[in-house]
Chains A and B, each alone.
Chain A
Amino acid sequence: MNKPIVKHKRFRRLIPALVLSAAIVALIAALTLNIFERKGEERNPYFKVVELTDSTDDPAIWGRNFPLQYDAYRRTTDQVRTRFGGSEAIPHTPTDVDPRSVVAQSRLEEDPRLKIMWAGYAFSHDFREERGHAYMFEDQLYTERQRVVQQPGTCLNCHASTYVPMMSLGGGDLKKGFDALNKLPYSEAKNHVKHPVSCIDCHAPDTMKLRVTRPAFIEGLRVAKAAEGIQNYDVNKMATHQEMRTFACAQCHVEYYFKGPEKTLTFPWHKGLTADRILSYYDEQKFKDWVHKDTGAPALKAQHPEFEMWSQGIHARSGVSCTDCHMPFKREGAFKITDHHVRSPMLNVNRSCQTCHRWTEEELKGRVETIQSRTFDMRNTAMNALVELIGDIKAAQSKNVAPEKLEAAREQQRRAQFLLDFVEAENSTGFHAPQEAMRVLGLSIEHSRKGQLHIREPIK
């Protein structure tokens, strides 16, 4: 009679052991699978789902092979402010000519002196804070500047994915396609492009290696290297991988002008990369962007010279590329990938700055904003000086001032304006090269004040 009870007791003792054992087995199995997955990720950096060719310009197709990079790339739609940059999402009532429902804040409203500085130029009509890469085409298509002046197709070089369109326009010859695109009116050229900057603009589809696809940069770097004494430089053959991590961005984030009636996109680096050397090249070419409405000065507009400014700074000197800070490495599982959500390092201090600088986030942000505040103060000083010069020239024109004196003052305005604009248009508020930015602003102030002296009554 006792035995069945003993049996049951023995069996009951087994139950917790059974449960524990099952739990342990389940945990170990889960761990094994986790390790298996990580090892797999290490072995296969990507899974080839579709075949990419030299004419695949749709980023969504590349995204099937590289979903992690593609996801991050799509996030360039984010609109986040930093202290001196970034963009704020401002609601916009869609109209027939501008169907956007969201735009960025207007810089002209933030600082009306810009309208005086650019009087007579399309930028004095509409100039907003730049938004992320995702908006590059849309924002150019619908800016009011398009309605003020006739733009050439050249503009698209950096506002759309143009590698495939240029190849097809040139019948397989990139340079020919580039020339053809430049000559088209914008209204027609825009029909040839579909996407904002895309995977194929920076990557070779078979190897994923970085490559330069913009003929203007290939030529620009060739002349810049020649000025340094290096002849026949070919960026796609001679640049190191780390250099390409800057050059890929420098295809567009640079100062440029449209040369001649062909409207060829040209980077003015024939004498060097600094603001004053670029200015002296423009002087030699007798180039002007527009004639200032109030003074008649042959003025120049500087455009986002990030690469040039960076090249004068400590980070360039230390071999730090654009990508290191604006697209830092991040980890997804065992993958280590470049963050394709291109953005301000101030929104990603941890991965951008702290990889090298062992200080707290607040400290690093504080350092950057100190540099930027000082630059911004000096930029305001230079802007006031320029506005005063413009005011003086306007006044002098209605008085009996000698034409050669007026001409000399206008010449100074051209210089002061370009040098100030070089720092103003550059997207780091001085951070890319703090001392260089201050030097350029110092020069600008000097030209403004010299201009005022030309038309001032001599002290008797």
Chain B
Amino acid sequence: MLKRARTWLNVLTALWILLISVPVGLGAFTFVYAKGYSYLSNDPAACINCHVMRDQYDSWKRSSHHTVAVCNDCHTPGRLHEKYYGKAINGWWHSVAFTTQNFHEPIRIKPANLERANKACVGCHSQILSSAPHTLNERSCVRCHSTVGHL
């Protein structure tokens, strides 16, 4: 009786292990296959894994800022938790958009991301803000300096 119960318990445990390990294993494979780990890095090449941002990547390489800033410096600025929140939320929506092939072309920056990039400008160039005409009530740096990040 006891033996039979133990066998039954083993079967259950094995099933549980299988139920968890198969999705985890498949997920891990997909993560590696899709170069998921590259999105944790600071390498701009990660942003062109899916080719949609090829134009943005090319235009960044020709811009004045390419020697001092990579994608992450402007688009996911801030402390570690802010940076990874920015990466996670954009990563999710980019994946949804690219997988379903449902997105506006040419691609457009979203208000929240524009805000983020703007914060990055101010982060480095805060001193300029006290001099005219930057004291004006214009809240977007790239409205006038549209070619500094991407030519």
Contacts and interface: CB of A to CB of B under 8 A. Distances in A.
Q: A and B: partners?
A: yes
Interface of A: 3, 7, 10-11, 14, 17-18, 21, 24-25, 28-29, 31-32, 34-36, 38, 42, 330-331, 333-334, 336, 350-351, 354-355, 358
B30 A35 contact: yes
Given A7-B8, A331-B105, A25 B52 contact: no
B60 to A, nearest CB: 16
A24 B26 CA distance: 10
B20 interface: yes
Interface string B1-34: 1000100100010011001101100110110011
B9 to A, nearest CB: 8
B27 A28 contact: yes
Tell me the interface secondary structure of chain A in the complex.
Answer: helix
A34 B19 CA distance: 23
Q: Which of A21, A42, A333 has the most CB of B within 10 A?
A: A21
A21 B20 contact: yes
A10 B12 contact: yes
A21 B50 contact: no
A17 B19 contact: yes
Contacts of A358: 146
A354 B55 CA distance: 14
Given A10-B12, A35-B34, A28 B105 contact: no
Contact of B5 (A3, A18, A336, A351): A3
B55 to A, nearest CB: 8
Given A35-B33, A354-B106, A14 B51 contact: no
B99 interface: yes
Contact of A25 (B15, B23, B34, B51): B23
B101 interface: yes
A32 B29 contact: yes
Given A21-B19, A34-B99, A351-B106, A336 B27 contact: no
**Top 6 A-B pairs, shortest CB-CB distance:** A21-B19, A24-B23, A32-B30, A35-B34, A28-B26, A355-B106
B16 A14 contact: yes
Nearest to A20: B19
8 contacts: A3-B5, A17-B19, A21-B22, A21-B23, A28-B27, A36-B33, A42-B51, A330-B105
A355 B26 CA distance: 39
Interface in B40-84: 50-52, 54
